[in-house]
A and B are shown apart, each in its own frame.
Chain A
Amino acid sequence: MERLSWTGALGPWLVPALEAALVALALAALAHPLALLAGYRLGPGPEAARSGPGRAARLTGGLLRLSLWALAAALAAFLIGGLLVPPEAKGILGRIATRLWPVWLSLGASFALVALFRRRLGLLGHLLGNPAGAVGLALVMFWVFAALFADQIAPFDPITDVIAGMKNKPPGTPLPAPEGTYGYYLLGGDALARDVFSRAVAGARVVLAIAPAATLFAFMVGITLGLPAGYLGGRLDLLLSFLANLVLAFPVILLFFLLVTPEIVAMGVPTYMAGALFLFPLIFLTILWNSRFRTRPPLRAALIGATLVLGGWLYAGLAWNADPFGVVSMPAGVLIVFVSVVFVNAPSVFRIVRGLTLDIRTRDYVAAAQTRGEGPWYIMLWEILPNARGPLLVDFCLRIGYTTILLGTLGFFGLGLAPESPDWGTSINAGRGLLQFVPFPPLVPAVAIMSLVLGMNLLADGLREESLRE
């Protein structure tokens, strides 16, 4: 079998179209500012200023828009065309698009659902009307679905499928002897002869399992400490702010190196830290129910009981690896990464929550809650926190992106996760040695990180704009 080309049978038509669109875009992008400038310079008197950009500028502006659309159409044609042509005519892109069919299906279905119930979905519905938000949401959802369906999408096992003769092969290389398996390494093979494409997809699962959960834990810690610091103030605020600053001032990478040092691990420091940090979600939920339902004791008892039993079980398993049923546990490497990420992020969240609380606690509805004799925790969690949700939601998205990069950095330094882990940072680290000769093994996970973080940032932008508009 021959090596696959990138575009397959579509190449002869689509590649020139793409090139034409690119050239047109470049020309228009150059000409448009010039035309704008010329329009300003030549316009005599007020009439020209009022009529807006000159005719030349309008022309180049139109061309710019047109060429952008053409480019987008050409790219879409690669994907859709690749999906539709018969298997033997598919190139690498077409085959990747085909492998990703569960993602397209779920993306289409979820966007259709959101669009259908737009009016009732509030912020999420508005997000579709915002270009940045919609693109961000699509990128993020793409990776979420890719992680969910990784087993269906990846043609090979990311760790165990080592196929002789596929070491450092370029994209589209056929397998020497495909026996009932997929015939190609779509994005080439890495230094250990594993499929780069499968590893990138499987890496999404690792990253998306750790990053949002770790960010959520960091938020729990930051909120549980930031609310009282802002609301009660005084010495408590002084102490907590000082501690937060202390953590923030410590070099992050050094902290990670310390945490994974065998001696420190042997001393059990990460476990103790996990023991402390993982307590916060429990505390948070318990206070949440207690303050809200103090007037309805049976409901309160039920909720707190459920939280403590379920949470305690998870807590024992995750933090101390002491689940009596042996179901819940966290690998030691993941635990270290998790703890480090929570530990580093919590102080920033703390400061944001504290600042928001300082602002919101002066509102009349907080005073109204005080005059009806509500306790401080009810006011913090049920009056203040819901009204801080806008900025916190935006920060949550940004922070997931940041955490993703942090995970990449950790992986790149070989900290935490096992060396064979398919996560993106570790893959980049493994591939960087031969970057000049075999670019794809590190390049693919790098693009993956970039697109996910970009998606998160766009989503955050969209959320911010839309929540301001409310």
Chain B
Amino acid sequence: MTAPLLEIDRLSIAFATRRGDIPAVADFSLSVAAGEAVGLVGESGCGKSTVALGIMRDLGRAGRISGGTIRFRGRDLATLSGSELRRIRGNDIAMVYQEPMASLNPALRIGRQLMEVPRLHRGASRAEARELAREMVADVGLPDPDRILDAYPHQLSGGQQQRIVIAMALMSRPALLILDEPTTALDVTVEAAIVDLVKGLGRKYGTALLFISHNLGLVLEVCDRICVMYSGEAVEQGPVRHVFDRMRHPYTQALFRSIPLPGADKTTRPLETIPGSFLMPQDRPRGCNFGPRCTHFEPGLCDTAEIAMRPVPGASDHEARCLRFEKIDWQSRPPVPKAAAPGEVGAPVLTVSGLRKYYEVSSGGLFGHRRRKLVRANETLSFEARQSETLAIVGESGCGKSTLAKVLLGLETATAGQVLLDDREVQETPIQKRGPRAVADLQMVFQNPFDTLNPSKRVGGQILRALEVFGVGATRRARRERMFELLDLVRLPRDFADRMPHQLSGGQKQRVGIARAFAGGARIVVADEPVSALDVSVQAAVADLLMDIQRTRRTTLIFISHDLSIVRYLADRVMVMYLGHAVEIGSTAQVFAPPYHPYTEALLSAVPVPDTRVEKTRIVLEGDVPSAIDPPPGCPFQTRCHWKDRVPNGRCARELPPMVELGSGHRILCHLSAEALGEMEPVFRVAAE
């Protein structure tokens, strides 16, 4: 084999702060061969993006490479001058960032931004550059390249924007493409298409990929090799399948055990959370960085000296930063803690029938007659949620799940239909008129942990305010006592009451948000993507906390999510939404097994599963979700459906399908005949071992 394209050798990166240098990356070695795809995974703060910025030598004023070398095609990048570096950046090494809109200049047409690359790096003429840009736009799978080239970034959807960013990165045919969480901001079905695209183009142009992600499933799909980072160090690296099947670092294993793989179950096989919390770089211990959280920690061995990467037998380039991996029994699992028995599912507490919510948006000029347009956010939704049950609402962005939450909570009133809370109609009662009891009964947990708490008020004060508003406790002292009990409930230390939100980690903030929601003894909690913004190891802990509270308080949990893995893990029943319609509803087992609604099938197949034993049928949906202002006629999903030709006479494009009952509460919104549905095969197959 020839010399690798990119060779990072014992790299250290430090950031200068007021309190001295903080080592962000230490002793990091990695090599990427030409045409190879390498995945870099780890939780936020582990230094994976810093490595990427270090390769681009874009560390800002505070950051500097404090040790080691980065060689690209044999040349040390640190010795290059500014102009040589500029030639390499964008030409030989290109980078794609997480937020597509932030990478595109909103004031320039797409065409100009793409043409800039060959004109700058190769001195191509305008016509040549435009031709190249057109080819590239077609290559990234966008229809009608000429229209796209003349569009402004905001006229494209998120998925299309990210395709353009990838096209721009590939315009100069780079030898190395760095992708920093390229799909995190996108929906799952769009993500699947982008991942396919990146894989295909990488092969077509022989581009090496450095794929940075926190999603192990994606890495398994895209990459040949993987490098797991923890706290600024690479802790394990090797061929993807080898690492997934025979992981030899306790952190890698803990990471895998904290994500809901098929087979995990909230009562019999709950997720394992990593004890302790992530340490700030300046607090790193001596010896193994993972030592304080490791179940295999051995004092006197793991905490004496810095630990180097050691080769793992069985594969040529599999190595792990663990001194004890030969002695650890990798198959054993800690005993399952005795979980409280799942609460008996009780009577319906929330019944929704025929709910519709339309918004009116007006367009048109100041003097021209205004055209009123309807946004059909929710179309005839009917479902019920029972006591002590978890109902998951699944769908991609724009499917109307957040609008549904708003209507349920009374922040919006319904356009038509009925919402019964116990046996009171509330669809037309805005929250101010519901009375404190009803408001306290139905509460919400929000998605973004950095946004859910008011940054300028103390944690305790925010919970106290909720208690005051809900009329809990007669005196200040009683409320304070109650606030401490709520902190106990979400397993936070009591002295957190006096902290400001910015002193808390994401998971801790989310716990405070949960405590606040349960302040008035909520009986129904709507959780809008409560864990999707958290790191995987924290996700497990917060999800388990919600389940525990549910078991002890018999709470009804309405769990809104786009993440089907976590939904399968903790939901009792699932409702799948698309463009405002409920397209499928049933128990978790029913929804996750055939017959599926075609959309559910595509959604399931789009979810990356980090398990080498699972075989998946690939169904990649074309295009994007249509707009709710101008929904397609007939079935909402007909524009992207794979099964459409199985329905005679093009009925899908003309008539809205009926809600078909498939037995024991499993209903789908589809024209497909019973035999067509019967032919569906499971999306997942677990290979026999």
**Which residues of A line the B interface, CB within 8 A?**
45-47, 49-50, 129, 295-296, 363-365, 367-368, 370-375, 383, 386-387, 389, 470
6 A-B pairs with least C-beta separation: A46-B81, A364-B451, A364-B446, A386-B456, A373-B439, A295-B468
**Bound Cα distance A458, B668 (Å):** 65
Shortest Cβ distance from residue A131 to the other chain B in the assembled complex, whole angstroms: 14
**Bound Cα distance A470, B411 (Å):** 33
Q: Is B82 an interface residue (CB 8 A)?
A: yes
**Bound Cα distance A434, B446 (Å):** 69
Shortest Cβ distance from residue B451 to the other chain A in the assembled complex, whole angstroms: 4
Given A46-B80, A373-B432; A363-B451 close (CB under 8 Å) = yes
Given A372-B466, A372-B470, A373-B436; A49-B431 close (CB under 8 Å) = no
Known contacts A370-B411, A372-B440, then 19 further A-B pairs from the complex at CB < 8 Å, ordered by chain A residue:
A46-B79, A50-B79, A295-B469, A363-B451, A364-B448, A364-B451, A365-B451, A367-B411, A367-B446, A368-B446, A368-B516, A371-B411, A372-B466, A372-B469, A372-B470, A372-B520, A373-B434, A374-B469, A386-B454
Given A46-B79, A50-B79; A387-B439 close (CB under 8 Å) = no
Q: Is B213 an interface residue (CB 8 A)?
A: no
**Bound Cα distance A20, B411 (Å):** 72
A-B contact pairs, 16 of them (CB 8 A): A46-B79, A46-B84, A49-B82, A363-B451, A364-B452, A365-B454, A365-B455, A367-B411, A367-B446, A370-B431, A371-B439, A371-B443, A372-B439, A372-B440, A386-B456, A387-B456
B454 contact from A49, A370, A387, Cβ within 8 A: A387
Q: In this complex, what residue of A is CB-closest to B502?
A: A470
What 1/0 mask marks residues of chain B from 433 to 475 whose CB sits below 8 Å from any chain A CB? 0101001100110111001111111000000011011110000
**Which residues of B line the A interface, CB within 8 A?**
18, 79-82, 84, 409, 411, 431-432, 434, 436, 439-440, 443-444, 446-448, 451-457, 465-466, 468-471, 502, 513, 516, 520
Q: Across the interface, which residues of A come within 8 angstroms of B444, CB to CB?
A: 367-368, 371
Q: In this complex, what residue of B is CB-closest to A373?
A: B439
Q: In this complex, what residue of B is CB-closest to A387?
A: B456
Q: Assess the A375–B79 pair: CB atoms within 8 A.
A: no
Shortest Cβ distance from residue B71 to the other chain A in the assembled complex, whole angstroms: 15
Q: Across the interface, which residues of A come within 8 angstroms of B439, CB to CB?
A: 371-373
Given A373-B432, A374-B469, A387-B455; A368-B513 close (CB under 8 Å) = yes
**Bound Cα distance A383, B465 (Å):** 12
Q: In this complex, what residue of A is CB-closest to B470?
A: A372
Q: Assess the A368–B455 pair: CB atoms within 8 A.
A: no
Shortest Cβ distance from residue A290 to the other chain B in the assembled complex, whole angstroms: 14
Shortest Cβ distance from residue B548 to the other chain A in the assembled complex, whole angstroms: 22
**Bound Cα distance A296, B79 (Å):** 68
**Bound Cα distance A383, B454 (Å):** 7
Q: Assess the B452–A365 pair: CB atoms within 8 A.
A: yes
**Bound Cα distance A129, B18 (Å):** 10
A50 contact from B81, B447, B465, B468, Cβ within 8 A: B81
Q: How many A-B residue pairs have CB under 8 A?
A: 67
**Bound Cα distance A317, B631 (Å):** 63
Q: Across the interface, which residues of B come within 8 angstroms of A375, CB to CB?
A: 432
**Bound Cα distance A112, B399 (Å):** 60
Q: In this complex, what residue of B is CB-closest to A365?
A: B454
**Bound Cα distance A125, B439 (Å):** 42
Q: Across the interface, which residues of A come within 8 angstroms of B411, CB to CB?
A: 367, 370-371
Q: Assess the B471–A295 pair: CB atoms within 8 A.
A: yes
Q: In this complex, what residue of A is CB-closest to B444?
A: A371
**Bound Cα distance A450, B207 (Å):** 60
Shortest Cβ distance from residue A302 to the other chain B in the assembled complex, whole angstroms: 15
Q: In this complex, what residue of B is CB-closest to A126?
A: B18
Shortest Cβ distance from residue A428 to the other chain B in the assembled complex, whole angstroms: 42
**Bound Cα distance A386, B465 (Å):** 16
Shortest Cβ distance from residue A457 to the other chain B in the assembled complex, whole angstroms: 24
**Bound Cα distance A395, B212 (Å):** 41
A49 contact from B81, B432, B434, Cβ within 8 A: B81
Q: In this complex, what residue of B is CB-closest to A366?
A: B454
**Bound Cα distance A387, B450 (Å):** 13
Q: Assess the B457–A386 pair: CB atoms within 8 A.
A: yes
Shortest Cβ distance from residue B262 to the other chain A in the assembled complex, whole angstroms: 32
Q: Across the interface, which residues of A come within 8 angstroms of B466, CB to CB?
A: 372
**Bound Cα distance A372, B436 (Å):** 8
Q: Across the interface, which residues of B come within 8 angstroms of A49, CB to CB?
A: 81-82
Shortest Cβ distance from residue A446 to the other chain B in the assembled complex, whole angstroms: 39
Among B409, B456, B468, B513, which residue has the most Cβ atoms of chain A within 10 A? B456
**Bound Cα distance A364, B462 (Å):** 13
Q: Assess the A368–B82 pair: CB atoms within 8 A.
A: no
**Bound Cα distance A205, B453 (Å):** 43
Q: In this complex, what residue of A is CB-closest to B456?
A: A386
Shortest Cβ distance from residue A134 to the other chain B in the assembled complex, whole angstroms: 15
**Bound Cα distance A68, B468 (Å):** 59
Q: Across the interface, which residues of B come within 8 angstroms of A129, CB to CB?
A: 18
**Bound Cα distance A368, B18 (Å):** 35
**Bound Cα distance A176, B501 (Å):** 68
**Bound Cα distance A287, B411 (Å):** 23
**Bound Cα distance A47, B468 (Å):** 67
Q: In this complex, what residue of B is CB-closest to A292?
A: B465
Q: In this complex, what residue of A is CB-closest to B79?
A: A46
Shortest Cβ distance from residue A182 to the other chain B in the assembled complex, whole angstroms: 48
